[in-house]
Amino acid sequence: MSTIIKLTDVSKIYRTKTIETQALDSVNLDINTGEFVSIMGPSGCGKSTLLNIIGLLDKPTTGTVELCGRTAEGLKDKALARLRNETLGFVFQSFHLIPTLSVLDNVTVPLIYRPGSRNNRKLALEALDKVGLSHRVHHMPSQLSGGQAQRVAIARAIVGNPSIVLADEPCGNLDSKMSGEIMDLLHSLNREDGRTIVMVTHNEDQARATDRIIHFFDGRRVE
Amino acid sequence: MIATHIRQAWQLLRQNKLFSTIYIVGTALAIASTTIFAIIYYVKLTPVYPESNRYRMATIDRVEQKDDWSSMQSSLSYSSIGQFKNNLKSAELISAYQRLWGGNRMTFNDGRRDRNVTLRPTDTAFFKIFNYDFLAGAPFSDVDFESGVRKAVISDRLAEEVFGSVDEAVGKTVTVDFRKYDVCGVIREGSAINRHSFADVIIPYTVFDNYAGNNDPDTYTGKYKILLLTDDLPAVQAEIKEMERKYESSHPGKELNFWNQPQSAAIDALGIDPVDEDFDLGKFVRYNFLVLLTLLLVPALNLSGMIAGRMESRSGELGVRKSFGATDGSLMSQVLWENLILTVIGGAIGLGLTWITLSTDATFVLSIIGEKWFDFNSAATVRLTPDMMFAPAIFLFAFGVCIVLNLLSAALPAWLALRRPIVKSLK
């Protein structure tokens, strides 16, 4: 299997005038295509920072990030945006649906930033069908339950057919029943579509159900 | 993408009613105040009825004559009209009208109360310089003018007020300053903003006994204003300079000064003093453009503060959009589009407000903003016709102001919001 995510000696230091915090310390990480990986660790250990760096939402202080064989080092903002759009889908703990857009328009968001993208509506409807929400297309986010909102967020994450889905505690705001549904959905995306999924979680049961668990502590990978 | 922006702007408008209302009202007031000025300048500067020859029209308003002991500045004499007709070969047509000081009273013999009127004693060329629509009758003729017959052309508004209808007026008599005039024609009234062409009653100046003054060819000061049509204003100005030179060479110790007259109708309408020979139109336009921008800056700063607050609450959305591949440029474009929709709605309401206000009582509105349009003491009320208020140029101006207001108010808060790192936006 080929490596789809490769982090080499990645460190992240947050500096203020008075304090310096090492969020990640020389992290090396290889994730293969089609893997479902969980990242676990106590709060403040650098899990989310790692996910942000993999998602090109934040830049490492040192080290390199490669996605799908393309290095992110030295890329300008526009190129980074393009790489995010083409290769990554995000699922956030608090859903982050845009409250002023309908379900359908929320799912369409990644496509409108893709040059030359056509049939946006059709693709968005297919994605919503996949997450079982084709009957809610014209609803507004405020009219959805938590589980439904996260399903919409997942539809938005996969609508552009990215190779990698990054999920930051996707069930963190959901009850156990809804969490189960969301996890089933993520597993089916991994199994059926072959998507690589990297998920940050505090839930050991959810983590055990994935292919690999990576533990973090104080910004370092621990075995 | 733009359709999505519009849909989202509509949703934002519905979901944030207070913000949207304040924003739209603020914009509407800003657009209304600037559009009122735009309409005034449109009426003053473009070839609106009846001043369709405005781009070819020029005026001579004042002259100065002085010698070692005295100096006099005033309007022009009757004899100077003849001098101009003889010397200004580059002028296609020359007309003169008397400048009257004090009110002109129209009286009635049926018990109705007197009223002020704007009386315009002039010649027949006046009707060629201004293209009045004659709704009934015709202008007084050259023969009427030469013989000083008391004939009058009156405005449709006056005809309706005095005789009940336009058709009834011709052949009837009006009394102004205790002189009776036979109405020979009725014109569609122009706007009182245009001080040369506006009049309630137009009569031959030859009806006055002393219309020629002393008729001394060496006296240039008097009570007339000169209007002329030309395709070559610099040539006419050179001819005037030649008149000055000839006068001064034949009258040692005396000076004749027309400054840089004739002035174009535009310069005249802007109220530029002909004595100001250093006047620079480009500088004037730039200055007024800066004034307009400054006027817009005040509401723009207020609106900008509101948008900054809203951008703060939309920080998460910007982060999400960036996560999914939006660039700063595309997000800036989105914010400006959304804002433009609100601004255009405000602009449309502002235009509506302008029209309603000016249609209801333009005279009052213009008096509030200190616009001086009366040349004479008159009861004239400003009429602004639909072709003045609904001109495409006014729409374009209002839209332009919307764009400027939009950029001034939205660009900076959007830029500041977009500078925030994605990770912080998503927190």
Could you tell me the residue ranges of all domains in chain A? 35-57+77-222
Q: Which residues 275-314 of B have a C-beta within 8 angstroms of A?
A: none
Superfamily of domain A35-57+77-222: P-loop containing nucleotide triphosphate hydrolases (3.40.50.300)
pLDDT tens, position by position, A81-107: 999 999 999 999 889 999 888 999 999
Residue B17 sits at the chain A interface (C-beta within 8 Å): no
- Whether B110 and B183 share a structural domain: yes
State both tokens at B248: 């001064």
- Whether B315 and B388 share a structural domain: yes
pLDDT at B215: 81
pLDDT tens, position by position, B43-100: 888 888 899 999 999 999 999 999 888 899 999 999 999 999 999 999 999 999 998 8
- Whether B70 and B174 share a structural domain: yes
- Whether B285 and B149 share a structural domain: no
In a domain, B265, yes or no: no
CA dist., res. B205 & res. B124, Å (int): 10
Does position B303 have pLDDT exceeding 90, yes or no? no
Which of the pair, B391 or B412, is modelled with greater confidence?
Answer: B412
In a domain, B220, yes or no: no
Task: Give the residue from B190, B207, B224 where a domain finishes.
Answer: B207
- Whether B93 and B140 share a structural domain: yes
Quote helix, strand, coil % in chain B, to nearest 5.
50, 15, 30
Q: Do B317 and A98 touch (CB under 8 A)?
A: yes
Tell me what the mean pLDDT of segment B376-394 comes to: 69
In a domain, B258, yes or no: no
- Whether B79 and B148 share a structural domain: yes
- Whether B134 and B14 share a structural domain: no
pLDDT tens, position by position, B100-154: 876 788 988 888 888 889 899 999 999 999 999 999 999 999 999 999 999 999 9
Q: Quickly state the pLDDT bin for B312 (edges 50, 70, 90).
A: confident
Tell me what the mean pLDDT of segment B386-410 comes to: 81
State both tokens at B148: 């000083």
| Ranges A35-39, B332-336, B423-427, most confident | A35-39
Q: Cα distance from B18 to chain A (closest Cα, Å)? A: 16
Q: Cα distance from A147 to chain B (closest Cα, Å)? A: 19
Task: Point out the residue among B4, B324, B325 whose CB comes nearest to the CB of A105.
Answer: B4
CA dist., res. A154 & res. A169, Å (int): 13
Query: Which spans in chain A are helix H?
Result: 47-54, 77-87, 103-112, 120-130, 146-158, 176-193, 204-208
Does position B15 have pLDDT exceeding 80, yes or no? no
pLDDT tens, position by position, A18-36: 888 889 999 999 999 999 9
The full length of chain A comes to 223
Q: Is the peptide bond before A162 cis (omega within 30 degrees of 0)?
A: no
Residue type, A111: L
Does position B41 have pLDDT exceeding 60, yes or no? yes
Range with the lowest mean pLDDT among A148-152, A212-216, B138-142, B363-367? B363-367
Q: Cα distance from A80 to chain B (closest Cα, Å)? A: 8
pLDDT at B292: 79
- Whether B70 and B181 share a structural domain: yes
In a domain, B228, yes or no: no
Task: Give the residue from B174, B207, B240 where a domain finishes.
Answer: B207
Interface with chain B: mutation pick from A93, A112, A200, highest number of B CBs within 10 Å: A112
- Whether B84 and B179 share a structural domain: yes
Q: Do B324 and A109 touch (CB under 8 A)?
A: yes
pLDDT tens, position by position, A104-117: 999 999 998 888 88
Report the percent of chain A where pLDDT is more than 90.
63
Interface with chain A: mutation pick from B5, B15, B320, B331, highest number of A CBs within 10 Å: B320
User: Which residues are CB-contacts of B142 (< 8 A; sequence separation ≥ 6)?
Assistant: B124
pLDDT at B374: 47
Does position B377 have pLDDT exceeding 70, yes or no? no
Residue B271 sits at the chain A interface (C-beta within 8 Å): no
Which of the pair, B265 or B3, is modelled with greater confidence?
Answer: B265
- Whether B202 and B149 share a structural domain: yes
Range with the lowest mean pLDDT among A158-162, B190-194, B204-208, B324-328? B190-194
Task: Point out the residue among A58, A81, A90 whose CB comes nearest to the CB of B326.
Answer: A81
pLDDT at B309: 87
Task: Give the residue from B207, B225, B251 where a domain finishes.
Answer: B207
Residues of chain B contacting A92 with CB distance shorter than 8 Å: 320, 426
Q: Quickly state the pLDDT bin for B204 (edges 50, 70, 90).
A: very high
CA dist., res. B350 & res. B292, Å (int): 16
pLDDT tens, position by position, B176-185: 999 999 999 9
Mean pLDDT, chain B, integer: 87
In a domain, B89, yes or no: yes
Which residue range is the domain that position B365 belongs to?
A: 2-49+281-426
Tell me what the mean pLDDT of segment B215-244 comes to: 94
Number of domains present in the structure of chain B: 2
CB of A197 closer than 8 Å to CB of A167: yes
Q: Do A98 and B8 touch (CB under 8 A)?
A: yes
Q: Cα distance from B365 to chain A (closest Cα, Å)? A: 41
CA dist., res. B427 & res. B422, Å (int): 9
Whose CA is closest to A45, among A174, A221, A191, A193?
Answer: A221
Residue B4 sits at the chain A interface (C-beta within 8 Å): yes
Tell me what the mean pLDDT of segment B13-27 comes to: 85
In a domain, B28, yes or no: yes
- Whether B319 and B414 share a structural domain: yes
In a domain, B298, yes or no: yes
Q: Quickly state the pLDDT bin for B193 (edges 50, 70, 90).
A: confident
Q: Which helix (H) or strand (E) holds B87?
A: helix B78-87
- Whether B327 and B379 share a structural domain: yes
